[in-house]
Amino acid sequence: MADTSIIPPREEKRGDGTAYTKGTEPINPHLPPPAYIKAAHKALQHSTSSPISTWTLSSSPFSVHSTIPASTLSAAFTTFSPSTVLTTSLKDVPVYTPVSHPGLFILPSLLPPEIQLSLLNSLLITHLSSTDTNRTNLHLHYSLPPPPFSLLTAPDNHHLQPIDPSVHKPLMAHRARERKLRWMTLGGQYDWTNKRYPRAGETNHGEPTDLTEAEKAAAPLFPPDLSALISTLWPDIIPQAAIVNVYSPGDTLAPHRDVAESSNAGLVSISIGCDGVFMIARPEQSGEIKKDGEHEGAQGKEDGILSLRLHSGDVVVMSAEMRRAWHSVPKIIAGTCPEEIGEWPGEEGGGIARGWVKGKRVNFNVRQMWDS
């Protein structure tokens, strides 16, 4: 298994002498990023330099923190997708960590192409239309038929009907999947306005509930197949919520921090499709931290920013102090989707959307909302 939990939290002192544990202070989710982080994101977004071929864009040295044994990979993949047949033998996968950013872990090529395809099937065909536990940005304004309907296999001329016809017109399936589908939330539903997840004692949509603990434990909050994949690889993380971001070349994800969760368990981020540039900033080491988690004084330096080029099948884990670090996706690199997965969804639905993923980057990031 991937050992991403051995870095102990560090106790420090505030200016008033009171103690706090580094990385656990409440943070205001509405705070804007520091200017130097926004500038670095913009510079990467508009960079015209030719992308280098390695998986890192940074000169920061990396060390091998641990490895995931092939036996653990086999158990995880078999539990997740028993019918998937791998064409190559599994090998131990090294877990890298940048010396400058302890708590950040990079696992290049963790998922073989066959598992990437199975994951796309699970996310975008099986779970996309299942509204019991999942939502997409399309659900805000359109009615999506329940399973077995799938947007990725629907005929081009199928129309999604608007919830309010006075505001929106019917949306053709082709346009919806090519440009309108931007995100899906699974399990506990993220409140984009208030920037928070459901708390313990609420339903996965945030409403109060009088369910007993046993009933809540038995509720199908998070898709079981996806939970099995994550929890087998990272037993210290309980998958309770996930966001699937769908990018096209030209799309970006602005600098932000994932601070809505009550748990400090690590965040797992899986990339599929086109390469993407991932930027993350090292948390300030010397500035005083106020009780709301906002930094006073110096907020960091440009040399604390790490940029990575992530390929299809790569995984990033943000843990310890890096769990709540500023990060962004400033660039999607067109024409970089591997041939092995580029024809997905293939012949599904008569091949109507064959090659859809060739022009996309799909990011599946999983988090734990609260501690048991």
Per residue in 285-342, pLDDT (tens digit) is 433 334 444 433 334 456 689 999 999 999 999 999 999 999 999 999 999 999 999 9
Give percent of the chain with pLDDT exceeding 70. 76
Contacts 24+ apart (CB under 8 A), 163-169: 167/141, 168/141, 168/142
Residue 11: both structure tokens together: 């106790």
Residue 132 falls within a domain, yes or no?
A: no
Residue 200 falls within a domain, yes or no?
A: no
CATH of the domain at 42: 2.60.120.1520
Residue 191 falls within a domain, yes or no?
A: no
Residue 348 falls within a domain, yes or no?
A: yes
Per residue in 241-299, pLDDT (tens digit) is 999 999 999 999 999 999 888 889 999 999 999 999 999 999 864 333 344 444 333 34
Residue 284 falls within a domain, yes or no?
A: yes
Residue 274 falls within a domain, yes or no?
A: yes
Q: Residues at the annotated binding site for Fe cation?
A: 256, 258, 327
Range of the domain at 300: 19-127+223-367
Residue 9 falls within a domain, yes or no?
A: no
**Residue 171: pLDDT band with limits 50, 70, 90:** very high
pLDDT of residue 6: 39
- CA distance to 22, 111, 160, 234, 366, per residue, from 88 (Å): 42, 12, 41, 23, 27
pLDDT of residue 203: 56
Distance from the first to the final alpha carbon of the chain: 21
Nearest-angstrom CA–CA distance, 277 and 337 = 14
Lowest-confidence pick of 68-82, 161-175, 206-220, 227-241: 206-220
Residue 165 falls within a domain, yes or no?
A: no
pLDDT of residue 113: 98
pLDDT of residue 304: 87
pLDDT of residue 288: 34
Domain count, the chain: 1
Nearest-angstrom CA–CA distance, 187 and 366 = 10
32-49: average pLDDT: 90
Which one-letter amino acid corresponds to residue 242?
Answer: A
Q: Residues at the annotated binding site?
A: 256, 258, 327
Judge whether residue 96 has pLDDT over 70. Answer: yes
